[in-house]
Amino acid sequence: MSATELTRPTTAGPVVTRFAPSPTGFLHLGGARTALFNWLFARHHGGQFKLRIEDTDRARSTQPAIDAILDGMRWLGLNWDGDEIYQFARAERHAEVAEELIARGAAYRCYLSTDELKARREAAQAQRKPFRLVSEWRDRGPDDAPPGASGVVRLKAPREGETTIEDAVQGKVTVQNAEVDDFVLLRSDGTPTYMLAVAVDDHDMGVTHCIRGDDHLNNAFRQRVLIDAMGWDRMVYAHVPLIHGHDGAKLSKRHGALGIETYRDELGILPEAMVNYLLRLGWGHGDDEFISRDDAVKWFDLAHVGRSPSRFDIKKLENLNGHYLREADDARLAGIVAPDIANTLDKPLSADDMALLTRAMPELKPRAKTLHEIADGALFLFRVRPLTMDDKAAALVAEAPTGLFDEIAVALSALDQWTTQTIEEALRELSERLELKLGKLAQPLRAAMTGTTVSPGIFDVLALLGRDETLARLADASQMRASHQD
């Protein structure tokens, strides 16, 4: 079905939600959460979740932004039903509705000039009053139109009484109708405005529940006027409070408000961790902190969406990510971090390297909070000898007891089996014989094996490196220690 052939079901059907991002930027945190809530609500009710790209701002809408939004949605696992809909392609349909509203007497052509509008706006500012347009063209016929003027099309908003919306999140919200002006539907060049396009598309897509940020709450009252004027079925509105920073201020880049792709590519966050974190930003299920996707679909409702802004905390996201790293499949993690490791080493990982990386995951992931920490922690497995050491590691090797690395090499060479258990037993026996605390032996040994002072348990490190590589690195360390002594 093409974008211009959308029709609303004529009978009561399933729940239909939508996510409607503007491709003037990448998929940000707030947008991702809105998409998630709409997806969960639709899936919970066995309904449909649709995606609409609101690309009517042709000057600012870009293909890279569209691609990033689609990519981010797929990464989060928020699959939409049917093809994505592009709003710009439906401009003819939007204009058709505007003309029908004129025919119904619910809209009119307004020929106020730019200068006239500016003067009235400045007069309202001078009187410190909100600007509410009262156009003399509201009740005049087309025969009075100035010659050659195209004008704009405005909706006739009610001027008396009030309108109440029973919002599924905010509760009952009432606005005096006098506060809703005769907003523009079609510009003088015939292009539709955002307010018209959104209302028409929501109707034609059969949207039953509009879940979005509460910065759109005022728009709901304008769109309700249009919906009622057309005699269309009303949607259920659910306006979700925005996300704030840890300090309570509006979320910005200094709080970590970045595109979703940044959390994936630069911060090393797993999609299941991001989904779980976004879910808990403004919605809760008792004291449950770790919520699987299946449980989220089973439990999600609008009744438990909070009315207060939630606060974004990058540390909490990383802690949650650590949990999902520990739960993740080892081969899957190896596949995700391998490009990061290969980029650092400036060489691809072989099949044997990948097998080693997978075997190492049970030791690498328990202490990591991000994928990048896993990648950094795995580098020691693939570094070329002699190792380049950081300053602390180099100092530990240089200051190790004389002959320590040779003693370790002898003890390990005698092992019949190369396992974590046999390695630990041999090194503990050596520690006792040398009357050296195990930590005093393990610290320089870790430096010699990894080039750093941080790694998985030293016995696991040696088991993963294998006998030949371990003994070769011990020989390098012994030579380094000897050259320092000279």
The CA-based angle 130-131-132, given to 5 degrees, is 110
Look at residues 375, 276, 379, 366 and name the one whose alpha carbon lies nearest to residue 322: 366
**Six token digits for residue 114:** 């730019």
- Which residue type does 418 have? W
455 contacts 446 by C-beta, under 8 angstroms: yes
What is the rounded distance in angstroms from the CA atom of residue 178 to the CA atom of residue 306?
30
Q: What confidence score (pLDDT) does residue 250 get?
A: 72
pLDDT of residue 429 exceeding 70, the answer is: yes
The domains of the chain are located at: 330-381, 391-485
Beta-bridge partner residues of 236: 209
Per-residue b or e along 76-114, where b marks 16 or more CB atoms closer than 10 Å to that residue's CB:
bebebeeeebbbbebbebbbebbeebbeeebbbbbbbee
Q: 55-59, 73-77, 478-482: which range is least confident on average?
A: 55-59
**Per-residue model confidence as pLDDT tens digits over 393-405:** 999 999 999 999 9
pLDDT of residue 100 exceeding 70, the answer is: yes
23 contacts 65 by C-beta, under 8 angstroms: yes
**Six token digits for residue 84:** 């994505």
Q: What is the mean pLDDT of the chain?
A: 92
**Six token digits for residue 74:** 């797929």
- Catalytic center residues: 253
Residue ranges in 216-255 assigned as alpha helix (H): 217-230
Look at residues 289, 280, 320 and name the one whose alpha carbon lies nearest to residue 40: 280
The SS3 call for residue 117 is helix
What's the rounded mean pLDDT across residues 98-123? Answer: 93
**Per-residue model confidence as pLDDT tens digits over 244-285:** 887 777 766 555 557 899 999 999 999 999 999 999 999 999
What's the rounded mean pLDDT across residues 407-435? Answer: 96
DSSP 231: T
Q: 57-61, 172-176, 350-354: which range is least confident on average?
A: 57-61
Phi, psi of 195 (to 5 degrees): -60, -40
The SS3 call for residue 156 is coil
Q: What confidence score (pLDDT) does residue 258 get?
A: 73
**Per-residue model confidence as pLDDT tens digits over 295-343:** 999 999 999 999 999 999 999 999 999 999 999 999 999 999 999 999 9
401 contacts 445 by C-beta, under 8 angstroms: no
CATH code of the region 391-485 = 1.10.10.350
Beta-bridge partner residues of 243: 310
pLDDT of residue 2 exceeding 50, the answer is: no
Please give the model's pTM, rounded to 2 decimal places. Answer: 0.90
Residue linked to tokens 């797993």: 270
DSSP one-letter string for 372-383: HHHHHHHGGGTP
What's the rounded mean pLDDT across residues 447-465? Answer: 96
pLDDT of residue 5 exceeding 50, the answer is: no
3-state helix, strand, coil in the chain (%, to 5): 50, 10, 35
What is the rounded distance in angstroms from the CA atom of residue 352 to the CA atom of residue 154?
69
The SS3 call for residue 35 is helix
Identify the residue with better confidence: 26 or 166: 166
Q: What confidence score (pLDDT) does residue 255 get?
A: 54
| % of residues, the chain, pLDDT over 90 | 83
Distances (CA, A) of 218 to 107, 138, 264, 321, 457: 20, 23, 34, 36, 58
